[in-house]
């Protein structure tokens, strides 16, 4: 009996240890890393040792040992003994079965450790169902969130496309306005150019008329009282000797100058010219002075009388 009590205690302690380990480690295995929960496990107290049912012992008739002679073989003795004992044991068992009252067989009652294990399994099943429900709810929420994000993204894309279409329309309108303004500016520039060209032509015509009038007036002013153009000559010398005057005239003419002689009051005056411009006459006078050392001066050209 003591050995039976010790074995039962060891089994119950082992069952409790296994239950505690299962309660501690199973939630850790089934728990995700992002779901950290604190599980407090209260180990139940050690159950009391159940009472051992009392077994009643009934007397069994044991046959007396039979002494066999020595000359019998062992195999014969064993066979005969077994054959002799078998009917006796059968008779004893039949007698015990007939004398022992029959008791109804009841269903086995689970031990407290088995009940705790069942409760732990039920709790784990509930936790698994709760986690599965939470996972389903989380998945549904994630799906709803993704659908909402997709709808929002589609709405944003539609808005962006609408904005792009508006911007394209605005750009097209701006391009049309720019083209219209450019056309107006070109037309205005063309009109201004035409007006300026007309004004320039009118100014040129006026200037041409003015120049013609000035030329006519200048020509009229360059004519003297006799209707001859006003011209200029350079008087180089006034000599009493006609031969000397003629020699000077020949020398100047040989050098390309238009030299001529006028007889005034008994003197022979040598001239070079005439030229129309007074400035040309001044230049010619300076040239003769540098080349021939003749100090002349510019005078009005007087045509020869007679």
Taking only the tens place, the pLDDT of each residue in 17-56 is 999 998 988 888 776 555 555 667 677 777 777 776 777 7
- Taking 60 as the threshold, does the pLDDT of residue 235 lie above it? yes
pLDDT band at 221 (very low <50, low <70, confident <90, very high): low
pLDDT of residue 91: 46
Coil, helix or strand at residue 206: helix
Coil, helix or strand at residue 263: strand
Quick: pLDDT tens for 237-262.
888 899 999 998 999 999 888 999 99
- Taking 80 as the threshold, does the pLDDT of residue 199 lie above it? yes
pLDDT of residue 13: 92
pLDDT band at 95 (very low <50, low <70, confident <90, very high): very low
For the chain, what are the domain ranges?
232-300
**Smallest Cα–Cα separation from 255: which of 292, 282, 218?**
292
Across residues 274-300, what is the average pLDDT?
87
Q: Which of 6-15, 74-83, 294-303 has the highest average model confidence (pLDDT)?
A: 6-15
- Taking 80 as the threshold, does the pLDDT of residue 97 lie above it? no
**Which range (108-117, 127-136, 186-195, 285-294) has the least confidence?**
108-117
- In which residue are the tokens 């199973």 written? 26
Angstrom CA distances, 155 to 143, 147, 158, 159, 207, stand at 18, 12, 5, 6, 75
Quick: pLDDT tens for 156-177.
999 999 999 999 999 999 999 9
Across residues 208-218, what is the average pLDDT?
76
pLDDT band at 87 (very low <50, low <70, confident <90, very high): very low
- Taking 70 as the threshold, does the pLDDT of residue 282 lie above it? yes
- Taking 50 as the threshold, does the pLDDT of residue 100 lie above it? no
Q: Which two tokens stand for residue 141?
A: 């929420």
237 near 270, Cβ under 8 Å? yes
- State percent of the chain over pLDDT 90: 31
Torsion of CA 216, 222, 228, 232, to 10 degrees: -150
Mean of the per-residue pLDDT values for the chain? 79
- Taking 70 as the threshold, does the pLDDT of residue 69 lie above it? no
CATH class of 232-300: alpha beta
pLDDT of residue 189: 92
Query: What's the CA gap between 246 and 261, in Å, rounded?
Result: 8
Across residues 225-247, what is the average pLDDT?
84
Torsion of CA 235, 241, 243, 246, to 10 degrees: 10
Across residues 175-200, what is the average pLDDT?
93
Helices (H), 110-241: 112-221
Q: Is the pTM of this model over 0.75?
A: no
- State percent of the chain over pLDDT 70: 73
| Residue 21 parent element (H or E) | helix 2-30
pLDDT of residue 212: 80
């Amino acid at each position: 009996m003591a050995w039976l009590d010790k074995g039962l205690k060891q089994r119950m302690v082992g069952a409790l240890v296994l239950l505690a380990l299962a309660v501690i480690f199973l939630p850790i295995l089934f728990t995700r890393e992002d779901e950290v929960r604190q599980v407090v496990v209260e180990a139940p107290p050690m159950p009391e040792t159940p009472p051992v049912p009392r077994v009643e012992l009934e007397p069994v008739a044991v046959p007396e040992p039979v002494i066999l002679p020595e000359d019998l073989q062992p195999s014969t003795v064993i066979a005969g003994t077994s054959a002799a004992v078998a009917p006796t044991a059968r008779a004893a068992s039949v007698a015990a079965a007939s004398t022992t009252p029959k008791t109804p067989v009841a269903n086995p009652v689970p031990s407290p450790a088995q009940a705790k294990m069942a409760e732990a399994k039920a709790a784990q099943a509930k936790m698994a169902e709760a986690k599965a429900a939470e996972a389903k709810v989380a998945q549904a929420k994630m799906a709803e969130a993704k659908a909402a994000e997709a709808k929002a993204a589609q709405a944003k894309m539609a808005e962006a496309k609408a904005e792009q279409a508006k911007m394209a329309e605005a750009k097209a309108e701006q391009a049309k306005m720019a083209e219209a303004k450019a056309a107006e500016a070109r037309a205005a520039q063309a009109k201004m150019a035409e007006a300026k060209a007309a004004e320039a032509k009118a100014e040129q015509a006026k200037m041409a008329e003015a120049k013609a009038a000035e030329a006519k007036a200048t020509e009229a002013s360059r004519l003297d009282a006799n209707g001859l153009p006003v011209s200029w000559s350079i008087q180089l010398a006034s000599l009493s000797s006609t031969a000397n005057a003629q020699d000077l005239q020949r020398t100047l003419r040989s050098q390309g100058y238009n030299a001529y002689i006028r007889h005034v009051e008994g003197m022979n005056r040598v001239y070079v010219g005439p030229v129309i411009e007074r400035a040309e006459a001044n230049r010619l006078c300076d040239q003769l002075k540098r080349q021939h050392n003749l100090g002349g001066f510019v005078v009005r050209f007087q045509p020869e009388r007679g």
